[in-house]
Structure 1
Amino acid sequence: MTATVTPINNLTIPSGWHRLTPLWQGGEEVIQQGLPHTQLAPTWQLLLLGDGSPTRHLQLLTGEPTEVDVIDMSLIGMDLDGAPDLIQAVPGPRLRRQVWLRTASGQRLAYATSWWEGSHVDEYLQNRSLPIWASLARLRTELYRDVQGIYSGNSKALELGFNETGPFWGRHYLFWHHGQPLTLIYEVFSPYLTKYLGSMQLSSINGKV
């Protein structure tokens, strides 16, 4: 699993970060129950609502190494940054990290923003261009992925970045380590993944089968 840092250009280096404009969103109760298959197909729910590593899942789906383009590492201090409210669980001053997750052949599969306590980020991201999963696995860090929000929505920047039309599905979650919040992560997945996961929704007829 490798990573690169992309050069600065208007498409990949945002002044802020790419939050979806939600058409629909759900919280912890919806996540625990799961969604109707006519709203989100079971395969997509495994990706979005499960507590496994998306970087690892993408590698297994595509059969290619998952590579990471780091597009932003910004110290944001105590600013709430337009992030989900859970950002307040991450001690400040904070650092924001943004990445594209893509195949080795260059296909972008997901976008992610994460917020870290700035003074401790180097403990966990010793190589900041590696995927979070790879960095923490090297450290044998025990983690709990606590999915707290799920969205379906639009973003012009992500349409350009993925070269796919919306709406897109995304989520946010906290990583817990030793009973303390380690980082808040916001992820959005490309509709290109229908190639591997199938349709995002099942028809009512298929949903009954």
Structure 2
Amino acid sequence: MTAQLTAPATRTWQADPYVDALRAGQGPLFLRRRDGWLLPLDVERWCAGPDAADDTVLARCTGPVLDIGCGPGRLVAALAGLGHTALGVDVTPEAVDRTVRAGGSALCRSVFDPLPREGGWATVLLVDGNIGIGGDPAALLRRAAELTAPGGSLLVEVAAADVDERVEVHVEDGAGGRGAAFWWARLGARALDAKAEAAGWTRCDSWQTAGRHFSHLTR
């Protein structure tokens, strides 16, 4: 089930127009649902240094940190600069290359592939909407639990709205470029709590800053 869900997304994130946007360091870039609804993707923020909201995530990181779907690596590089052992995982070679160039460590790999230090990460990150990876948050939360050390933390960025949806989307650039369709998910805090509890997580904190919403889960 997981492989079927993640394979189309893997192909998408390795191809245009997402890679073109990463190389340029800017959008516009969107996720489009089949009904036409658009979700803007904040490529410029991803390719910049950590902002004030990111700083609140970094401040809650302890021990070795795994960033799932690290993108161009702003958090991984910042964590390395703070003295953390940090690793990014992303299926896009360009994202991994950018992370390494920024001073971080990263692997071009799916989160569902074998990874270093399984069961030993003190903090795992799912920010920038990455709880949606594969369109199956329950499976992703179970996988995160396998990767995290007992008593470890999972820091998740959630949607501001009270939403729980699994949708078919594709990436497009607003100028005619589009990628293949794949499954994605969006969760608000309440939906995350329900799925997290079933996967063995407990919410110990939540916060909002600069229009972004986060939850701190523990095993």
Q: Which category describes the TM-score, using the shorter chain as reference length?
A: under 0.3
Structure number with the higher helix fraction is 2
The one of the two structures with greater contact order (alpha-carbon pairs below 8 A, sep at least 6) is 1
The TM-score normalised by the length of structure 2 is 0.27
Structure number with the higher strand fraction is 1
The TM-score normalised by the length of structure 1 is 0.27
